[in-house]
Structure 1
């Protein structure tokens, strides 16, 4: 066995060729200026923020809060902790909660599935509190779940005090954080995400429309949620899918229901018109094998923890090259998920995106003889290199 062959650094370069005419720079106009306090435009596949205006400013989110309430509920359903058919007894606290309502009645029983629809489509504060109490025992305990979940999603500018978004000085979020949450909702649970596209919901002999006006104006829009209080203004988190590409917008603090829809539409139009994405590698797929020393196995598969997707102005993706580099000397034990190399996406000498290559499986330590033999070989190799 040739030690040099296994010990040297592994590198693979994949070039994405293009016709010469495709290399001309695309002219990208300045992004639209919105009549809003804060807003972001995010490409959903890559999670790259394409427009950011005060996107990390902490602001009252109003009923955008219910995105987190609904997200946690769907997590609990998918984990098997609750079922959509479970009946929830409506407490007096839930029934008395002010603001927008689903119009559930105190001491009646409503299914988890109906409450979820009432939260997403009707923006029911009563439904939000009832479901929060069912999941966590109290709304305060549920707020702790919300904050723990926000930390996991990297929502560093969010803190929740209730399940509804009713004003509280310590209850806040940001446009960027809400875009992150929307992305999780869309990709982690497509079945429940379909609820966000429903235009109306009928409950207690009352039919209420979804307040997201873009569902009527733009057939590519399929979610997510509106919000409004006097302090927050009119807010909207929206997403649209066109020709396989998805954009997410979060707009805080416009002056009317019509304005939040119109300003959001500007962001979507700009994003789809001037940007495109490409997925270079999919998560969990073997991209290379690397030599392992002193292990029960002499090699490990390398891949990615998440899809590697890049978003750039139209016409620029064909200029990119991808390179993979594995660490030159891997010694067992290696845990699944350990970073063992790197993938770089470059445009010329500029690194556009970089992420770690991870071990796709664990490699335990080998036996005593294997460890001793590999130690000798590594020592000899070190003498001559």
Structure 2
């Protein structure tokens, strides 16, 4: 009886998984044979979302002006929803002028106090010139105060899936509670590029002239002729020099994030080295086609006891050219899944790993309708769950391995 109770508890709350071994696959690109002096760094392929390289990618750090990416995302969302337009005008308060203006010692678009500026100009002041006055004016214009705006930033961050980052202001000014990770910043960059392609183009503008003041974009990658088109730099004494960058070559986009560099020159060189290495050393490989059944999940109380799982797009990873090594793809879900289940519902996640390191994660969807089972079927499932047999059945999916050569 005690074994049965424990089994029910495990079945109710445990994460069940199915491991699919992919044999003789060229080595995943995120093998750590690249050396960087950056204390924290990550390199990601945008299309496959394969992590090519990471170093202390989940270590909390001050974002400095890279926090302005989150500020921009909130405004982009307001524009996309129609609640704001590029012609909306925001006032420059005394607070925005004093704390973020030319006299503050930080980056500024030199906005004048008690004037109103079009949102389009404020956005360029934010993303091209990294203007702190623009950031504060935007925050106050959207939600009244920076504090209120920071709450919206955190709400958006949670929706995007930034699991470890916390924002406290729109500028990136030092705050002991404002912390991010390079992994979250890369995820944010990918989201902005994918969700707001037209507005994203602002990040690639080399210069911006406003009120007869011409300023260059602070992103050094834009001047390197490597296909860079964004995103944002940052620097605080506590965080060092950081950069979120994006570049495209031959139709492939890579996202790079570095932070903690001692100089602006080091920041630029290390970011470029990572991008050059990523474009040169890797090639895409397809693991599963769109709509291909990847595995099955166990179902409780349904007219069927297993559910085929598919991805809505091809499952691809970037792999190191010329190397060969075994990798695994693991299906993870909270289960057993309870009927009824509608075809197309997201019910599981696919995680592709090399060793202990995760290369990518993506959702999996039900490929069939599972109706509620009849009374005898539900009774049988109840008996299986009560005993250890049901848990063994669910966990036995670990042994359901698929070998595949690419």
TM-score for the superposition, normalised by structure 2: 0.72
Q: Report the Cα distance in structure 2 between the residues aligned to 1:130 and 1:344, rounded to whole angstroms.
A: 41
Aligned partners of 1:238 and 1:250 also within 8 Å: yes
Q: Report the Cα distance in structure 1 between the residues aligned to 2:328 and 2:110, rounded to whole angstroms.
A: 56
Out of 57, 65, 68, which is 1:66 matched to? Answer: 68
- Measured at CA, do residues 356 and 193 of structure 1 come closer, stay the same or move farther in structure 2, by a change above 3 Å? closer
Structure 1 residue 271 displacement after superposition: 1.2
Aligned partners of 2:28 and 2:319 also within 8 Å: no
Deviations 1:116-167 (CA, angstroms, capped at 9, x unpaired): 1110000000101111112122100111111222223332332211100111
Aligned partners of 1:234 and 1:257 also within 8 Å: yes
Counterpart in 1 of 2:400?
A: none
Aligned partners of 1:245 and 1:277 also within 8 Å: no
Q: Report the Cα distance in structure 2 between the residues aligned to 1:62 and 1:266, rounded to whole angstroms.
A: 22
- Measured at CA, do residues 132 and 305 of structure 1 come closer, stay the same or move farther in structure 2, by a change above 3 Å? farther
Out of 30, 33, 41, which is 1:30 matched to? Answer: 33
Structure 1 residue 330 displacement after superposition: 8.8
Within the alignment, does 1:138 sit opposite 2:145 as a pair? yes
Q: Report the Cα distance in structure 2 between the residues aligned to 1:198 and 1:256, rounded to whole angstroms.
A: 23
Show the 5 A alignment for 1:367-378: none
Out of 200, 209, 234, which is 2:207 matched to? Answer: 200
- Measured at CA, do residues 110 and 282 of structure 1 come closer, stay the same or move farther in structure 2, by a change above 3 Å? farther
Aligned partners of 2:206 and 2:217 also within 8 Å: yes
Out of 53, 59, 68, which is 1:57 matched to? Answer: 59
Within the alignment, does 1:182 sit opposite 2:185 as a pair? no
Out of 210, 234, 244, which is 2:217 matched to? Answer: 210
Q: Report the Cα distance in structure 2 between the residues aligned to 1:266 and 1:24, rounded to whole angstroms.
A: 21
Count of residues paired in the alignment: 356
Q: Report the Cα distance in structure 2 between the residues aligned to 1:234 and 1:43, rounded to whole angstroms.
A: 23
Query: Comparing both chains, which one has the higher relative contact order based on Cα–Cα distances under 8 Å and sequence gaps of 6 or more?
Result: 2
- Measured at CA, do residues 221 and 361 of structure 1 come closer, stay the same or move farther in structure 2, by a change above 3 Å? farther
Out of 316, 335, 344, which is 1:309 matched to? Answer: 316
Out of 92, 97, 118, which is 2:125 matched to? Answer: 118
Show the 5 A alignment for 1:146-157: 146-157=153-164
Aligned partners of 1:143 and 1:161 also within 8 Å: yes
Q: Report the Cα distance in structure 2 between the residues aligned to 1:229 and 1:321, rounded to whole angstroms.
A: 40
TM-score for the superposition, normalised by structure 1: 0.75
Deviations 1:253-305 (CA, angstroms, capped at 9, x unpaired): 2122222111111111111111223455687x6869x9x9999xxxx996436
Aligned partners of 2:32 and 2:53 also within 8 Å: no
Out of 166, 172, 190, which is 2:179 matched to? Answer: 172
Aligned partners of 1:159 and 1:172 also within 8 Å: yes
Counterpart in 1 of 2:255?
A: 248
Aligned partners of 1:245 and 1:276 also within 8 Å: no
Structure 1 residue 233 displacement after superposition: 1.8
Q: Report the Cα distance in structure 1 between the residues aligned to 2:229 and 2:257, rounded to whole angstroms.
A: 14
State the secondary structure of the residue aligned to 2:117. strand
Q: Report the RMSD for the aligned CA atoms in angstroms.
A: 4.3
Q: Report the Cα distance in structure 2 between the residues aligned to 1:52 and 1:323, rounded to whole angstroms.
A: 21
Out of 227, 234, 244, which is 2:241 matched to? Answer: 234
Structure 2 unaligned runs (5+)? 1-19, 101-105, 382-406
Q: Report the Cα distance in structure 2 between the residues aligned to 1:343 and 1:156, rounded to whole angstroms.
A: 18
Counterpart in 1 of 2:230?
A: 223
Q: Report the Cα distance in structure 2 between the residues aligned to 1:331 and 1:248, rounded to whole angstroms.
A: 39
